[in-house]
Amino acid sequence: MVAVSDRPLRLVNFSRFVKKENIIRSMRAQDVLVACQLAVGAQSGLTLQQLSLALGLSLSDVHGAMSRNRAAGLCRPIEAGVRRRGVDPVDHHALQEFLIHGVGYVFPAKRSALALGIPTALTENSLSYDALPVVWPSSEGRVRGESIEPLHKSVPIVALRDAAMHALFSAIDVLRLGDREKRDAAIARITSLLHSPDLLRSA
């Protein structure tokens, strides 16, 4: 006979999970751009105004992105009196989890027409002639390949200035495209960059 406890059952409160999912779904592309810049960007210690100029975003866009990133847990909120210049530190682990498991669902991408552009989706160093590279359409690009829309319109501009950001968003695009063959390589690159972005710049 199975013993039945007379203790009341503890009901799992799923509301917090639903709330977090709704927050994630309400995120905008610039939120990811801001979080990634704070995590791996060449310029550290930026003020909100400098972050705005570096990413080609309005100051209100940066403010909104920081607020949504705090709500989503991608940035660690700190006491207002301690906060420097309005910029909260990124939670690298939370950002890594979101990029690996969430970005492909929130910001999916698909291949489109051939175009000249900047290589992405881990095709920037490809020597294979069997498959076309994937590119962000850009007047600055010199590679012809299948085009995809960048996660945010500022990504190609930022990528040309910062090798680590280019490498990170290239890996992110693999996950946005749902490319299973390159998924493991993309995850490895994202993990490496979030922990040691300067290794790429010193290479």
Last residue of a domain, one of 69, 103, 137: 103
Q: Is residue 140 part of a domain?
A: yes
This model's pTM is above 0.85: no
Q: Quick count: other Cβ atoms within 10 Å of Cβ 63?
A: 16
Number of structural domains the chain divides into: 2
Give me the CATH number covering residue 82: 1.10.10
Q: Are strands 134-137 and 143-147 parallel, antiparallel or unpaired?
A: parallel
Give the pLDDT of the chain (203 residues) as one tens digit per residue. 444 445 444 444 434 445 566 666 789 999 999 999 999 986 666 788 989 999 999 999 999 999 999 999 999 876 554 445 557 889 999 999 999 999 999 999 999 999 999 999 999 876 555 578 999 999 999 999 999 999 999 999 999 999 999 999 999 999 999 999 999 999 999 999 998 866 665 55
